[in-house]
Structure 1
Amino acid sequence: MNKETIVSHRLDRDVWKTVVKPGDYTMVPYEDSRCKIRIWHVKCENKDGPCEVEPECRIFNSPFDGNVIIGDMDSFVDRDVELVLQQMCLGEICDARFVYKNVFGDLMLQINCRIELVDLTEEQLISDWSWARLFESAVHHKERGVKLVKEKRIVDGFRRFSKALKMLVAIEPVDRLTADPERTKELLNMRIKLYNNMAHCQLQFEEYGATLDLCSRTLKLDPENIKSLYRRSLAYSGLCMYEEAWGDIQRALEVDPNDKASIAKAKELRPHIERINKDYSDVIKKMFG
């Protein structure tokens, strides 16, 4: 009997598989591979007994057509199934076990199932992808991320933006002396959009340090980017760095005096700046009375 092996481990979850029937070891899924799978003997439970899987999960909810593109899943359960598939061979059948716990070690969800990798369209490694394919993939992940953020799935959206950025990194470095100017401009604009989108996601969780970093990266590429100036101002405000926040929002208003969000933020910041100026003035009076 084959031994159960660990596929992936974190403190809050474990993914296991047991090979039931070996497959063709010369054919395995890579990023973007098209897989046809069959799943049966599905059993979902938590500490209270049988349960349903989250509705965002595609593979374990109806309707599922058996088609999976590696790297194109958003639900955490679906992504873990991808991890199992990437350790399977064409024709292989395995028993998979997914165990999820909370910070106290309580069982939140366990899924047991049998998976068969029925068919597989082999793909090149990302390192062998063409510029056009990498950029197309970046656009796909960025657009999917925007849709997820609109659905309030911020973490999943951020993951898509990060994936799109990974595709851009795979394209670079670009030789600006020989590169097509339009191509270089496309790369620059995409990177700016991704930094801005990722900063927006970080702000939703009050991750102000990460927001500052992302906005500062954008402003190095585009010093007059209003979205980055505004979001960096929000991050500075969250850290009570009101003078820095005021500086960014004033720069944003210089670029567009009619930007409503920047106008509102300036009104919010003004009392803080007036208090800081008054405190400074009082100190000077005491020093030189």
Structure 2
Amino acid sequence: MCTGQKKKVVLGNGKNACVSCVIELLTITKGKDPSRSTDNDKIVEAERHKKIGNDLFKQKRPVDAFHRFNKAIRLVIFLHDPQALLKDWNLLYTSLCNNMAACQLEFNNYEYAKQLLDKVLATDKENIKALMRRCRASAELKMYDRTLADAKSVLAVEPNNAVGKKYEEIAVEALRLQNVNYKNMVKKMFI
């Protein structure tokens, strides 16, 4: 289309239940060429998407939040020279992975959430939010050894953390039941 040109648009089959409108192209504005963006521009844009994603998550809109976090992390991953901004890059990358994992927990996608949280904890072993979230993901995946280890890590930093205590209790009880079931199974094998 050229400036000033009009185009009729019809949505639907054109007979029943359709929407039609006329679109006129008023102006063409040249945008910024993404290939010419500097790494600092990308970091600023990623931070903007992260902030919007955080606001959307607070509004109980995890799907929209996830899409914003995903846009932000793609900007961060494809920096030209992440080594130049290593500290900022790590902080932003781990924060975005942590936020994306929170969304995945809302979707009950525990395996993907755990993978994202593993990335966070590979960089920051004492990230309490990531540890608590991985406790939940691991418990849902019935990985009670991992749940217990993460709960103990949370409680080592914050001894009165309610989430850490909750998942420690869940893991201890589940491991106890697993051991009882295992012993019963072994007994049946040799009787």
Normalising by structure 1, report the TM-score: 0.57
Identify which range, 155-164 or 244-253, moves more after superposition.
Answer: 244-253
Question: For the Cα contact (< 8 Å) 1:97–1:110, is it kept in 2?
Answer: yes
> What is the distance in 1 between the residues matched to 2:177 and 2:70?
40
Structure 1 residues 110, 231: CA separation in 2 closer, same or farther (over 3 Å shift)?
farther
Question: For the Cα contact (< 8 Å) 2:39–2:81, is it kept in 1?
Answer: no
- Deviation at 1:193? 1.0
Unpaired runs of 5+ residues, structure 2, are none
Identify which range, 201-210 or 225-234, moves more after superposition.
Answer: 225-234
Match status 1:164 vs 2:100:
no
- Deviation at 1:184? 2.1
Letter in 2 for 1:150: K
Match status 1:232 vs 2:134:
yes
Structure 1 residues 96, 133: CA separation in 2 closer, same or farther (over 3 Å shift)?
farther
**Greater relative CO (CA pairs within 8 A, separation 6+):** 1
> What is the distance in 1 between the residues matched to 2:156 and 2:19?
55
- Deviation at 1:241? 2.1
Letter in 2 for 1:93: K
Question: For the Cα contact (< 8 Å) 2:152–2:168, is it kept in 1?
Answer: yes
- Runs of 4+ in structure 1 off by over 4 angstroms are 280-288
- Which has more helix, going by share of residues? 2
| Residues paired across the two proteins, number | 188
The equivalences for 1:113-192 within 5 A come to: 113-175=21-83, 179=84, 183-192=85-94
> What is the distance in 2 between the residues matched to 1:116 and 1:110?
20
Residue of structure 2 in register with 1:93 after alignment: 6
Structure 1 residues 258, 111: CA separation in 2 closer, same or farther (over 3 Å shift)?
farther
Residue of structure 1 in register with 2:112 after alignment: 210
Question: For the Cα contact (< 8 Å) 1:246–1:273, is it kept in 2?
Answer: no
Residue of structure 2 in register with 1:61 after alignment: none
> What is the distance in 1 between the residues matched to 2:154 and 2:11?
48
Structure 1 residues 231, 112: CA separation in 2 closer, same or farther (over 3 Å shift)?
farther
Residue of structure 2 in register with 1:112 after alignment: 20
Letter in 1 for 2:139: S
Structure 1 residues 270, 92: CA separation in 2 closer, same or farther (over 3 Å shift)?
farther
Task: For residue 199 of structure 1, give the secondary structure of its aligned residue in structure 2.
Answer: helix
Task: For residue 32 of structure 2, give the secondary structure of its aligned residue in structure 1.
Answer: coil
Normalising by structure 2, report the TM-score: 0.84
Structure 1 residues 173, 258: CA separation in 2 closer, same or farther (over 3 Å shift)?
farther
- Deviation at 1:211? 0.7
Letter in 2 for 1:94: K
Structure 1 residues 123, 241: CA separation in 2 closer, same or farther (over 3 Å shift)?
same
RMSD after superposition:
2.7
Question: For the Cα contact (< 8 Å) 2:147–2:167, is it kept in 1?
Answer: no
Question: For the Cα contact (< 8 Å) 1:148–1:157, is it kept in 2?
Answer: yes
Residue of structure 2 in register with 1:258 after alignment: 160
- Which has more strand, going by share of residues? 1
Unpaired runs of 5+ residues, structure 1, are 1-21, 24-89, 100-106
Structure 1 residues 219, 95: CA separation in 2 closer, same or farther (over 3 Å shift)?
farther
CA-to-aligned-CA distance 1:116-159 (integer Å, 9 cap, x gap): 33234312321210122111110111111111111111111100
- Give the share of equivalent positions with the same residue, in percent: 32
Structure 1 residues 247, 284: CA separation in 2 closer, same or farther (over 3 Å shift)?
farther
